[in-house]
């Protein structure tokens, strides 16, 4: 996926996809387990970062 075609998600969208609380999503961002970008006050998480997080959790669980 190229940067131009990357889908960026808001924190509430990530919360819904992962079924996690706002606090947990921000904790994942703070601990660098979930990559995010900030433009001004807007924080966005690439969809690929969410998929990478899910893959990492599956590997950890195996």
Q: Taking the model in full, what pTM does it have?
A: 0.86
> How do residues 24-58 score in pLDDT, each as one tens digit?
999 999 999 999 999 999 999 999 999 999 999 99
* DSSP output for 10-60: -HHHHHHHHT--HHHHHHHHHTTSS--EEETTEEEEEHHHHHHHHHHHHHH
Domain boundaries in the chain?
A: 3-61
Is the model's pLDDT at 1 over the cut of 60? no
Q: How confident is the model at residue 62 (pLDDT cuts 50, 70, 90)?
A: confident
What pLDDT, on a 0 to 100 scale, did the predictor assign at position 12? 98
CATH second-level architecture of 3-61? Orthogonal Bundle (1.10)
């Amino acid at each position: 996926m190229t940067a131009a075609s990357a889908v960026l998600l808001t924190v509430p969208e990530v919360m819904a996809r992962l079924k996690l609380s706002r606090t947990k999503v921000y904790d994942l961002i703070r601990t660098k387990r979930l990559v995010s970008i900030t433009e001004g006050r807007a924080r966005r998480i690439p969809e690929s970062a969410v998929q990478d997080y899910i893959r990492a959790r599956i590997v950890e669980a195996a």
